[in-house]
Amino acid sequence: MVVPAKPSGASPVVLVTGFDPFGGQRVNPSWQAVQALHDSRIAGHRVVGAELPTVFVKCLQAMRGLLRQHRPTLVICTGQAGGRTAISLERVAINVDDARIADNAGAQPVDRAVVPQGPAAYFTGLPIKAMLQAMLDAGINAEVSQTAGTFVCNHLFFGLMHRIATRPVAAGLRGGFIHIPYLPEQAARFPGVPSMSLATMVEALRIAVACALAVEKDIAETGGQLH
């Protein structure tokens, strides 16, 4: 793989991705929030926002292209977690696709490995406990999550971590995944379904990026689940 030289003097890049809408939704809050951060600057870094297709395999191909193109020092992928109440900092990606619904290309794999012969799981490369504290301190609903599911989000997360572990495009590259609740307009007609305002989501992602850039080694703070 030939990586074109980055123009000398350019700012280091943080890559933040969202997904396109799926499952009958007209918007995907992850891309709405990422779009709002695109081209902003955080702690001397330029944020590149990108929208990925909610399609197994293809989203990972797009991710690899983005890694080659932008050679980021940090990658934060995001996706919609309809029904959750809080920004979910994902702890672990597992090596399985098991789709309850078809992806946007009609594929619905069951119990298939993301990476055959790959390990069972990867832990996130993000300082999720420090990010959790920073979000809570800002009054934002946030939690550590022990599962990113088994759909396209987990597929991307596992594929990204496998890429970082096996073919790092840049020294010290770190990455991870964050799940985001519905927007109010997605939940409006479904009483009992929680949501979060776009402004809060954008602020949460800004905090996530700033925190990941500032914190090298994560803090030890409780964030587990009894089951």
153 is catalytic: yes
Contacting range for its own copies; rule: CB under 8 A; set: 38-46, 131-139, 166-174, 206-214: 131-139
CB proximity list for 113: less than 8 A, separation 6 or greater:
95, 96, 97
* Contacting residue, 16, 55, 76, 94, with its own copies by CB under 8 A: 94
Q: Give the C-alpha distances (Å, rounded to integers) separating 226 from 22, 90, 145, 204.
A: 31, 16, 12, 26
**CB of residue 145 to its own copies, shortest distance in Å:** 8
* Contacting residue, 146, 167, 214, 216, with its own copies by CB under 8 A: 146
Nearest residue to 201 via CA among 125, 156, 136, 141? 141
Interatomic CA distance for residues 174 and 165, integer angstroms: 10
Q: Which residues of 45-67 are buried (b: 16+ CB within 10 A; e: fewer)?
A: bbbbbbbbbbbbbbbbebbeebb
143 is catalytic: no
* Chain residues 32-71 in contact with its own copies, contact rule CB under 8 A: none
* Contacting residue, 50, 131, 151, 208, with its own copies by CB under 8 A: 151
Would you call 37 helix, strand, or coil by DSSP?
helix
179 is catalytic: yes
Which residue number, 46 or 112, has a Cβ lying nearer to its own copies?
A: 112
* Contacting residue, 43, 120, 168, 216, with its own copies by CB under 8 A: 120
Per the CB < 8 A criterion, the answer to whether 111 and 96 are in contact is yes
What count of Cα atoms within 13 Å lies in the side-chain half-sphere of residue 71?
14
By the rule CB under 8 A, 97 interacts with its own copies: yes
Q: Which residues are catalytic?
A: 90, 153, 179
Residues that bind its own copies (CB under 8 A): 23, 79-82, 84-86, 88, 91-92, 94, 96-101, 108, 110-111, 119-123, 129, 135-136, 139-144, 146-151, 153-154, 179, 183-185, 187-189, 191-197, 199-200, 218, 220-227
